[in-house]
Amino acid sequence: MKLLLAALLPLLATATLVALLARSLQRDAQAEPVSPLIGKPAPVLDLERLAGDTPPRPGEVWVLNVFASWCGPCRTELPVLGQLAEQSGVRIVGLDYRDTLELGLAFLKRHGNPYALTWRDPEGKGSMAWGVTGVPETFVIDRKGVVRLRHTGPVTAEDLNKRLLPLIKRLQGA
Protein backbone atom coordinates (compact mmCIF):
# COMPACT_ATOMS: atom_id res chain seq x y z
CA MET A 1 0.00 0.00 0.00
CA LYS A 2 2.75 2.36 1.00
CA LEU A 3 4.69 1.44 -2.11
CA LEU A 4 1.67 2.07 -4.31
CA LEU A 5 1.27 5.50 -2.75
CA ALA A 6 4.94 6.28 -3.28
CA ALA A 7 4.60 5.31 -6.93
CA LEU A 8 1.41 7.28 -7.45
CA LEU A 9 2.52 10.45 -5.69
CA PRO A 10 4.83 11.81 -8.43
CA LEU A 11 2.21 10.95 -11.03
CA LEU A 12 -0.43 12.78 -9.05
CA ALA A 13 1.81 15.79 -8.52
CA THR A 14 2.60 15.95 -12.25
CA ALA A 15 -1.06 15.62 -13.19
CA THR A 16 -1.95 18.51 -10.86
CA LEU A 17 0.76 20.68 -12.35
CA VAL A 18 -0.34 19.89 -15.92
CA ALA A 19 -3.95 20.67 -15.04
CA LEU A 20 -2.97 24.02 -13.52
CA LEU A 21 -0.86 24.97 -16.54
CA ALA A 22 -3.58 23.89 -18.97
CA ARG A 23 -6.09 26.07 -17.16
CA SER A 24 -3.81 29.11 -17.36
CA LEU A 25 -3.28 28.46 -21.06
CA GLN A 26 -6.97 28.35 -21.80
CA ARG A 27 -7.89 31.40 -19.77
CA ASP A 28 -8.32 34.38 -22.04
CA ALA A 29 -6.20 37.02 -20.32
CA GLN A 30 -7.55 39.68 -22.66
CA ALA A 31 -11.17 38.97 -21.84
CA GLU A 32 -11.03 39.49 -18.09
CA PRO A 33 -8.13 41.73 -17.20
CA VAL A 34 -7.78 42.10 -13.47
CA SER A 35 -8.35 45.59 -12.23
CA PRO A 36 -8.31 46.62 -8.60
CA LEU A 37 -10.93 49.18 -9.61
CA ILE A 38 -13.69 46.61 -10.17
CA GLY A 39 -16.26 47.03 -7.41
CA LYS A 40 -14.80 50.40 -6.43
CA PRO A 41 -16.18 53.91 -7.03
CA ALA A 42 -15.20 55.39 -10.39
CA PRO A 43 -12.24 57.81 -10.10
CA VAL A 44 -13.21 61.41 -10.72
CA LEU A 45 -11.53 63.13 -13.66
CA ASP A 46 -10.40 66.71 -13.26
CA LEU A 47 -9.37 67.55 -16.81
CA GLU A 48 -9.98 69.89 -19.70
CA ARG A 49 -12.75 69.16 -22.17
CA LEU A 50 -11.93 68.21 -25.76
CA ALA A 51 -15.44 67.94 -27.20
CA GLY A 52 -19.06 67.31 -26.28
CA ASP A 53 -20.96 68.72 -23.34
CA THR A 54 -23.32 66.01 -22.13
CA PRO A 55 -21.80 64.18 -19.16
CA PRO A 56 -23.57 61.05 -17.86
CA ARG A 57 -26.45 61.96 -15.56
CA PRO A 58 -26.18 60.87 -11.93
CA GLY A 59 -27.71 57.44 -11.40
CA GLU A 60 -27.14 56.44 -15.01
CA VAL A 61 -25.03 53.56 -16.37
CA TRP A 62 -22.14 54.95 -18.40
CA VAL A 63 -19.04 53.87 -20.28
CA LEU A 64 -15.52 55.28 -20.23
CA ASN A 65 -13.36 54.69 -23.29
CA VAL A 66 -9.67 55.62 -23.37
CA PHE A 67 -8.40 56.34 -26.87
CA ALA A 68 -5.82 58.34 -28.83
CA SER A 69 -5.58 59.66 -32.37
CA TRP A 70 -2.26 57.81 -32.81
CA CYS A 71 -3.82 54.47 -31.90
CA GLY A 72 -4.92 52.33 -34.85
CA PRO A 73 -7.18 49.88 -32.99
CA CYS A 74 -9.00 52.87 -31.47
CA ARG A 75 -10.08 53.85 -34.98
CA THR A 76 -11.46 50.41 -35.76
CA GLU A 77 -13.44 50.32 -32.54
CA LEU A 78 -15.18 53.69 -33.07
CA PRO A 79 -18.10 52.31 -35.16
CA VAL A 80 -18.62 49.57 -32.55
CA LEU A 81 -18.76 52.20 -29.81
CA GLY A 82 -21.29 54.07 -31.95
CA GLN A 83 -23.42 50.91 -32.05
CA LEU A 84 -23.05 50.53 -28.30
CA ALA A 85 -24.37 54.04 -27.67
CA GLU A 86 -27.18 53.55 -30.17
CA GLN A 87 -28.34 50.14 -28.99
CA SER A 88 -28.18 50.70 -25.24
CA GLY A 89 -28.60 54.44 -24.93
CA VAL A 90 -25.57 54.76 -22.62
CA ARG A 91 -23.46 57.87 -22.72
CA ILE A 92 -19.86 57.14 -23.59
CA VAL A 93 -17.22 59.40 -22.13
CA GLY A 94 -13.99 59.55 -24.12
CA LEU A 95 -10.54 60.09 -22.64
CA ASP A 96 -8.03 61.29 -25.23
CA TYR A 97 -4.76 59.85 -23.94
CA ARG A 98 -1.42 61.59 -24.63
CA ASP A 99 -2.69 63.57 -27.57
CA THR A 100 -2.81 67.15 -28.80
CA LEU A 101 -5.95 69.25 -29.02
CA GLU A 102 -5.73 69.52 -32.82
CA LEU A 103 -5.06 65.83 -33.49
CA GLY A 104 -7.75 64.75 -31.05
CA LEU A 105 -10.39 66.97 -32.65
CA ALA A 106 -9.34 65.97 -36.17
CA PHE A 107 -9.60 62.30 -35.21
CA LEU A 108 -13.19 62.69 -34.00
CA LYS A 109 -14.11 64.76 -37.03
CA ARG A 110 -12.68 62.32 -39.55
CA HIS A 111 -13.74 58.99 -38.03
CA GLY A 112 -17.01 59.88 -36.31
CA ASN A 113 -17.63 60.83 -32.71
CA PRO A 114 -19.48 58.31 -30.53
CA TYR A 115 -18.68 60.22 -27.31
CA ALA A 116 -21.21 62.30 -25.41
CA LEU A 117 -18.26 64.02 -23.79
CA THR A 118 -14.50 63.80 -24.30
CA TRP A 119 -11.78 64.80 -21.86
CA ARG A 120 -8.22 65.69 -22.78
CA ASP A 121 -5.51 63.71 -21.03
CA PRO A 122 -2.23 65.00 -22.51
CA GLU A 123 -0.12 63.97 -19.48
CA GLY A 124 -1.82 60.67 -18.74
CA LYS A 125 -3.20 61.92 -15.41
CA GLY A 126 -6.74 60.73 -16.02
CA SER A 127 -5.70 57.36 -17.41
CA MET A 128 -3.35 56.84 -14.47
CA ALA A 129 -6.25 57.48 -12.09
CA TRP A 130 -8.06 54.61 -13.83
CA GLY A 131 -5.07 52.26 -13.86
CA VAL A 132 -4.96 52.22 -17.65
CA THR A 133 -1.97 50.40 -19.17
CA GLY A 134 -2.64 51.00 -22.87
CA VAL A 135 -5.14 52.25 -25.41
CA PRO A 136 -7.88 51.42 -26.12
CA GLU A 137 -9.43 50.48 -22.80
CA THR A 138 -13.10 50.50 -21.88
CA PHE A 139 -14.85 50.59 -18.50
CA VAL A 140 -18.51 50.12 -17.59
CA ILE A 141 -19.81 52.06 -14.59
CA ASP A 142 -23.12 51.20 -12.93
CA ARG A 143 -25.92 53.42 -11.63
CA LYS A 144 -24.26 53.81 -8.25
CA GLY A 145 -21.00 54.97 -9.85
CA VAL A 146 -19.19 51.67 -9.23
CA VAL A 147 -16.80 50.28 -11.86
CA ARG A 148 -18.14 46.93 -13.07
CA LEU A 149 -16.05 45.96 -16.09
CA ARG A 150 -12.67 46.67 -17.62
CA HIS A 151 -11.98 45.69 -21.21
CA THR A 152 -8.50 46.08 -22.69
CA GLY A 153 -7.94 46.29 -26.42
CA PRO A 154 -10.51 47.29 -29.04
CA VAL A 155 -14.14 46.38 -28.45
CA THR A 156 -15.11 44.04 -31.27
CA ALA A 157 -18.66 43.31 -32.45
CA GLU A 158 -18.39 40.01 -30.56
CA ASP A 159 -17.31 41.73 -27.32
CA LEU A 160 -20.19 44.14 -27.79
CA ASN A 161 -22.86 41.49 -28.21
CA LYS A 162 -21.52 38.89 -25.80
CA ARG A 163 -20.20 40.97 -22.91
CA LEU A 164 -20.85 44.69 -22.97
CA LEU A 165 -24.46 44.89 -24.13
CA PRO A 166 -25.75 42.08 -21.86
CA LEU A 167 -23.99 43.60 -18.84
CA ILE A 168 -25.15 47.13 -19.60
CA LYS A 169 -28.75 45.99 -20.14
CA ARG A 170 -28.62 44.15 -16.81
CA LEU A 171 -27.14 47.13 -14.98
CA GLN A 172 -29.70 49.47 -16.53
CA GLY A 173 -32.49 47.20 -15.34
CA ALA A 174 -31.11 47.02 -11.81
Partner 1 sequence: MRKFIALTVFAAAVTAQAAEDLDTRVERLAQELRCVVCQSQSVADSNAPLAVDMKRHLREGLAAGRSEQELRDELVQRYGEQVLYRPALHAGTVPLWFGPVALVAIGGLVYWRHGRRREGGP
Selected from 129, 146, 165, 167, the binder of partner 1 by CB under 8 A is 129
CA 74 to chain centre: 12
How many residues touch partner 1 under the rule CB under 8 A: the total is: 17
Taking residues 130 to 169 in sequence order and writing x for each that binds partner 1 by CB under 8 A, - otherwise, the string is xx-xx-----------------------------------
For residue 152, the cross-strand partners are: 137
Taking the CB of residue 14, how many other CB atoms lie within 10 A of it? Answer: 10
Site string for partner 1, 32-71 (x = CB under 8 A): --xxxx--x--x----------------------------
Least distance between partner 1 and beta carbon 123 (Å)? 6
| Nearest partner of 92 among 47, 67, 56, 142, judged by Cα | 56
Rounded to a whole number, what is the distance in angstroms from the first to the last CA of the chain? Answer: 58
Contact flag: residue 123 with partner 1 (CB under 8 A) = yes
Task: Let me know: does 154 contact 77? Beta carbons within 8 Å.
Answer: yes
User: Shortest Cβ distance from residue 148 to partner 1 (Å)?
Assistant: 17
- Min CB(91)–partner 1 separation in Å: 24
Q: Please, what is the minimum distance in Å from the beta carbon of residue 79 to partner 1?
A: 27
> Would you say 40 or 109 has its CB closer to partner 1?
40
In the Cβ-directed half-sphere of 1, how many Cα atoms lie within 13 Å? 0
Q: Report CA dihedral (103, 104, 106, 107) to the nearest 10 degrees.
A: 110
49 in helix, strand or coil? Answer: strand
> Under the criterion CB under 8 A, does residue 125 sit at the interface with partner 1?
yes
DSSP classification of residue 162: I
Smaller CB distance to partner 1: residue 91 or 151? 151
Q: Which residues bind partner 1 (CB under 8 A)?
A: 34-37, 40, 43, 98, 123-125, 127-131, 133-134
